[in-house]
């Protein structure tokens, strides 16, 4: 088995470009406010947990090349943020952006807006035996606002409106099963009821599609990912890491928490979201997003690519654990969010994630079909979409705000 990627998929040596850069700008009109936004996410492995992905907003053509990895404590090389970091940072930024839009619609000037969210996850059962199942727990939001005309009732109304409008929140609030398609060595492989089937899937294997990675757009852009090393690890971190990293866990759920938080730059609209595993490490990644998708990926682009990275990571993890004869697996995924416009305040709608997996190597179709199901069972994002996730929100007025 080889994990060596095609040379064209290797990242550049520039630390900024290798973590995230725009590869194309298309002048097409984004469409009217309220229209659904569909993202094409394509992922290929670079070795172990390290992955490269291309995410394109099909309405605007804005495309970003990003990477994903896991921290060294979990067996990764920590070259880029983990999938759940990117996914949760996108959700946090989407809600924050819509709070700003709700305030603007009311003619309210905000002086400061800080949004934080945390979510619990767990894995139960033996990963090595293919019996593991992911669990997802509630979203806990904390929002701090300041503004001369913001009182308690207004602050609560702004947050409620943003949470209702965010399609990223909708996929957590409303249970929606994903759709899947599989190709084994280029042949369409029926799923035979193992997972809900995406019957008309016709995407292209990213490993074959990208003979070359498009060059970075020469215009200025923000550094998308920035690593912030922490100090001493939290108490009990090593024990949690050892348990979480085990591939043969007990029947008791092994849990962890991911959080994402940060202020909105009210002058530029940019968001710099700090995210990490607060119970396991004091290290953080700061992820920059731009609601327009111009200077950094949009929040929904981060949600989309985070979903794709998460599924590919779980599949690759099982390939490594079982030493399966598969190489250069590619994933292409369509994710639709409604409303797509970041300043639209309609009711957010959930749409199924459509995933097409391309597996190449010496394994037969029975093995690749089983692998697809194992990945779906252990991918935290796909599990989160399949259940109704409870949410809490704690809204606070900062000093100087109305009462």
Confidence label for 400 from pLDDT (cuts 50, 70 and 90) = low
Radius of gyration of the chain (CA): 20
Looking only at the bridges linking them, the beta strands covering 37-47 and 326-337 are antiparallel
Domain contains 149: yes
pLDDT score of 244: 54
- Sign (positive or negative) of CA dihedral 262, 381, 313, 359: negative
pLDDT exceeds 50 at position 274 = yes
Q: Which of 26-40, 246-260, 314-328 has the lowest mean pLDDT?
A: 26-40
Distances (CA, A) of 35 to 32, 40, 324, 344, 364: 6, 16, 42, 9, 42
Distances (CA, A) of 298 to 15, 195, 264, 277, 402: 21, 30, 14, 23, 31
Distance, in Å, from the CA atom of 156 to the CA atom of 163, rounded to the nearest integer, reads 11
Q: Which of 28-42, 118-132, 257-271, 367-381 has the lowest mean pLDDT?
A: 28-42
Nearest to 165 by CA among 305, 30, 307, 300: 300
Domain contains 2: no
| pLDDT, average across residues 315-320 | 88
Domain contains 81: yes
| pLDDT, average across residues 199-218 | 84
Order of strands, sheet of 133-146, starting from the edge strand that comes earlier in the sequence: 225-228, 284-289, 271-276, 254-263, 112-124, 133-146, 391-397
- Give the pTM: 0.91
How confident is the model over 114-133, as pLDDT tens digits?
999 999 998 887 766 777 88
Nearest to 378 by CA among 254, 277, 235: 254
Mean pLDDT of the chain: 85
pLDDT exceeds 60 at position 246 = no
333 backbone φψ class: left, alpha, beta (φ>0; ψ -120 to 50): beta
Helix (H) or strand (E) holding 391: strand 391-397
Distance, in Å, from the CA atom of 220 to the CA atom of 208, rounded to the nearest integer, reads 30
pLDDT exceeds 50 at position 212 = yes
pLDDT score of 328: 78
Confidence label for 215 from pLDDT (cuts 50, 70 and 90) = confident
Could you give the percent of the chain with pLDDT greater than 70? 84
pLDDT score of 350: 80
Distance, in Å, from the CA atom of 138 to the CA atom of 122, rounded to the nearest integer, reads 12
Could you give the percent of the chain with pLDDT greater than 90? 55
Helix axes 299-322, 365-378, angle to 10 degrees: 130
How confident is the model over 68-109, as pLDDT tens digits?
998 876 678 888 999 999 999 999 999 999 999 999 999 999
Domain contains 1: no
The residue segments making up the domain with residue 256 are 7-397
Confidence label for 25 from pLDDT (cuts 50, 70 and 90) = low
pLDDT exceeds 70 at position 321 = yes
Domain contains 98: yes
Helix (H) or strand (E) holding 285: strand 284-289
pLDDT exceeds 90 at position 156 = yes
Domain contains 402: no
Confidence label for 403 from pLDDT (cuts 50, 70 and 90) = very low
Q: Which of 174-183, 358-367, 378-387, 390-399 has the lowest mean pLDDT?
A: 378-387
pLDDT: is 249 or 291 the higher one?
A: 291
| pLDDT, average across residues 192-201 | 93
In 10 A of CB 216, how many CB atoms? Answer: 17
| Number of domains present in the structure of the chain | 1
pLDDT score of 355: 97
pLDDT: is 202 or 33 the higher one?
A: 202
CATH number where 180 lies: 3.30.300.20
Distance, in Å, from the CA atom of 329 to the CA atom of 312, rounded to the nearest integer, reads 8
- DSSP per residue, 79-135: SS--HHHHHHHHHHHHHHHHHHHHHHHTTPPPSEEEEEEEEEEEEES-TTTT--EEE
Range with top average pLDDT, 74-78, 110-114, 175-179, 252-256:
110-114
Distances (CA, A) of 109 to 42, 101, 151: 39, 11, 12
């Amino acid at each position: 088995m080889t994990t060596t990627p095609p040379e064209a998929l290797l990242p550049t040596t520039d630390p900024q470009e290798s973590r995230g850069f725009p590869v194309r700008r298309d002048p097409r009109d984004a469409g009217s406010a309220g229209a659904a936004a569909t993202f094409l996410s394509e992922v290929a492995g670079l070795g172990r947990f390290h992955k490269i992905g291309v995410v394109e907003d099909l309405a605007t053509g804005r495309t970003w090349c990003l990477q994903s990895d896991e921290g060294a404590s979990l067996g990764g090389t920590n070259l880029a943020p983990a999938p759940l970091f990117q996914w949760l940072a996108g959700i946090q930024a989407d809600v924050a952006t819509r709070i700003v839009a709700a305030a603007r619609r009311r003619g309210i000037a905000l002086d400061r807006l800080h949004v934080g969210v945390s979510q619990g996850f767990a894995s139960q059962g033996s990963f090595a035996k293919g019996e593991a199942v992911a669990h997802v727990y509630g979203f806990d939001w904390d929002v701090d606002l300041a503004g001369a005309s913001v009182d308690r009732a207004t602050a609560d109304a702004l947050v409620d409106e943003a949470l209702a409008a965010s399609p990223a929140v909708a996929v957590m609030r409303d249970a929606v099963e994903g759709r899947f398609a599989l190709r084994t060595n280029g042949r369409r492989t029926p799923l035979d009821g193992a997972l809900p089937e995406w019957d008309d899937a016709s995407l292209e294997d990213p490993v074959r599609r990208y003979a070359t990675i498009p060059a970075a757009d020469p215009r200025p852009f923000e550094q998308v990912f920035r690593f912030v090393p922490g100090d001493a690890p939290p108490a009990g971190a090593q024990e949690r890491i050892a348990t979480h990293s085990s591939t043969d866990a007990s029947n008791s759920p092994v849990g962890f928490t991911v959080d994402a938080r940060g202020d909105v730059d009210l002058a530029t609209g940019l968001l710099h979201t700090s995210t990490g595993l607060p119970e396991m490490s004091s290290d953080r990644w700061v992820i920059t997003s731009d609601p327009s998708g111009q200077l950094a990926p949009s929040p929904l682009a981060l949600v989309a690519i985070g979903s794709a990275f998460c599924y590919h990571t779980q599949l690759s993890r099982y390939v490594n654990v079982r030493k399966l004869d598969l190489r250069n697996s590619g994933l292409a995924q369509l994710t639709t969010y409604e409303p797509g416009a970041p300043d639209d305040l309609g009711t957010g709608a959930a749409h199924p994630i459509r995933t097409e997996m391309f597996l190449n190597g010496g394994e037969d179709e029975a093995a690749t079909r089983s692998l697809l199901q194992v990945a779906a069972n252990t991918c935290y994002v796909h599990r989160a979409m399949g259940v109704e996730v409870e949410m809490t929100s704690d809204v606070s007025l900062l000093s100087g705000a109305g009462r």
